[in-house]
């Protein structure tokens, strides 16, 4: 599969993508949350653009 931001492997079409209110941004839920160096007790998931892509893409189900 050729990975491209304009193709079918965009984050917005991935089952691990959780869109935010704007739908332009979202959280990638592929890995567990990441600890923050500031010492906050809550971890965070990486924030990605809907048009981003990576090698962990799995198509979202309807």
Q: Give yes or no for a contact between 50 and 12, defined as CB atoms under 8 angstroms apart.
A: yes
Whose tokens are 């893409």? That residue is 57
- What is this structure's pTM? 0.76
Residue 52's contacts (CB-CB under 8 Å, 6 or more residues apart) are 5, 10, 11
Number of domains in the chain: 1
Return the structure tokens found at 19: 């869109």
Say if 59 falls within a structural domain: no
Say if 25 falls within a structural domain: yes
Say if 62 falls within a structural domain: no
CA–CA distance, 21 with 14 (Å, rounded to integer): 17
- Residue 29 is part of which domain span? 1-53
Tell me what pLDDT residue 52 has. 94
Tell me what pLDDT residue 36 has. 75
Q: Give yes or no for a contact between 29 and 17, defined as CB atoms under 8 angstroms apart.
A: yes
Say if 61 falls within a structural domain: no
Tell me what pLDDT residue 59 has. 94
How many other CB atoms sit within 10 Å of the CB of residue 14? Answer: 24
Q: What is the pLDDT along the chain (62 residues), one digit of tens a residue?
A: 454 555 679 999 999 999 999 889 999 999 999 887 776 667 889 999 999 999 999 999 87
């Amino acid at each position: 599969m050729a990975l491209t931001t304009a193709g079918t492997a965009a984050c917005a079409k991935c089952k691990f993508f959780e869109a935010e209110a704007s739908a332009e941004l979202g959280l990638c839920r592929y890995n567990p949350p990441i600890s923050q160096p500031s010492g906050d007790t809550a971890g965070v998931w990486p924030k990605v653009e809907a048009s981003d892509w990576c090698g962990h893409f799995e198509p979202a189900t309807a």
